[in-house]
Amino acid sequence: MSKQLINRYYNELDKDKRFGGSHNEASIRRAFLNLVNSYAERRNLLLVPEIYVKGKKGNSVRPDGVLKNATRFEFGYWESKDTKDDIDFEINKKLNEDGYPDSNIIFEDTNEAVLFQEGELVQRVSMHASDELDSILTNFINYEPSIVKDFNKALIEFKQDVPKIVEDLRDLIEKQAETNEAFREKRDFFYELARGEINPEITLEDIREMLIQHILTEDIFNNVFGNANFHKFNNIARELVAVLDTFMDYAVRQNHLQSIKSYYDTIRDASAGLTDHHEKQKFLKNIYENFYKVYNPKGADRLGVVYTPNEIVKFMIESTDFLLHKHFGKTLDDKNVDILDPATGTGTFIAELIEHIPAQYLEYKYKNELHANEVAILPYYIANLNIEYTY
């Protein structure tokens, strides 16, 4: 039992009540949030407060906290109530009227804690008894959703199957280059476009890898963002599709990707509960890190395919703005201050810059002095949507 953690919770709760002079939910729930997170960190989980999730009725609901891992899978939910509330009445309202998810949800009012798992009441304890509180928190934290089990299984299969799929696709594309005149024509057109738009040193081998990345990630992108039209209107994606259409119909594609279908299905199911664009973007960044390390492990090491957390990005931008003003008398929103992000990844830095720059300066800066470049296809697609959405 984590007696020290629970005693710390009791002390924090008492201090909040004494200093705040209030017993209402908003005033006292911080202590329980801290307690759950002290348990959660052992399993690399985090109880994130006040975010929207998909409810049982298909609606968006906002529990007081959602227990997540780095891939944004939802492990559980927390709802805090006032001591003056009837906790059973509130539980019934949240679960049956509001449609809160009941796969793994804990309710508490600092006196009682009640845990539901798979729709059933599994535990009810006094929060004043440290051993009982430890027990219910342990059960809450150790719950593993079926989507996580399915994803871990699918990821193992993905890691096993992708290297063979990539080699088969490389062989297929090389054969098309030798025998398919329509393919060569479209490929060469796209090659010149990519040299002009992305990098003048791009090679035909790079084009081949971009085609493979597109084939492998199109379903991932569409399943998370639900934006099939993106590939029709983005100039790079549209031309890539035109190249693929010269030799790859639905049947050919399914034949090559059938063995990793469970991976795509799991991502689709996991992303279905994401209602917020930023949550989707963070989820897809983590998926991409897993994907690229399997697709090209040497390239992942060389390119450093691990993305900077948003909090650090924000700190770096604010620090740069401070130093720019201190040493040059300028700020990031001033004209003639060009900002370059040469390896933009999924666009996190540019999106955060857009949030940072005051609205009255943003249009000019966005059109003239923000520059971003990315050579890997999936993060390029994510960056496009992320930057445009933020702007």
Cα–Cα distance between 264 and 226 in angstroms, integer? 13
The arithmetic mean of pLDDT across residues 107-126, rounded, is 95
The arithmetic mean of pLDDT across residues 121-126, rounded, is 96
Looking at per-residue pLDDT, the higher value among 338 and 166 belongs to 338
Cα 391 to the center of its chain, rounded Å: 19
Predicted local distance difference test score (pLDDT) of residue 175: 95
Alpha helices in the chain (DSSP H): 3-20, 25-40, 87-92, 130-142, 146-179, 181-197, 204-225, 230-233, 235-244, 250-257, 261-271, 277-295, 297-303, 310-328, 348-356, 359-368, 377-390
Phi, psi of 307 (to 5 degrees): -90, 150
Residue 230 has pLDDT above 80, yes or no: no
Residue 289 has pLDDT above 80, yes or no: no
Place of tokens 């934290």: 141
What kind and span of H or E run contains 114? strand 112-117
Task: Indicate the CATH number for domain 3-144.
Answer: 3.90.1570
Residue 124 has pLDDT above 90, yes or no: yes
Residue 391 DSSP SS3 = coil
Q: What is the pLDDT confidence band of residue 275, given thresholds at 50, 70 and 90?
A: low
The DSSP secondary structure of 318-352, one letter per residue, reads: HHHHHHHHHHHS--TTSTT--EEETT-TTTHHHHH
Q: Which residues contact 150 (CB under 8 A, 6 or more apart)?
A: 262, 266, 269
The residue type found at 284 is L
The arithmetic mean of pLDDT across residues 94-122, rounded, is 94
Q: Where are the domains of the chain?
A: 3-144, 147-294, 310-375
Residue 23 has pLDDT above 60, yes or no: no
Residue 219 DSSP SS3 = helix
Q: What is the pLDDT confidence band of residue 64, given thresholds at 50, 70 and 90?
A: very high
Q: Which of 252, 282, 255 is nearest to 346 (CA)?
A: 282
Cα–Cα distance between 24 and 17 in angstroms, integer? 9
Task: Report the mean per-residue pLDDT for the chain.
Answer: 86
The arithmetic mean of pLDDT across residues 144-158, rounded, is 82
The per-residue b/e assignment along 195-210, b for 16 or more CB within 10 angstroms, e otherwise, is eeebeeebeeebbbbb
Cα–Cα distance between 45 and 69 in angstroms, integer? 5
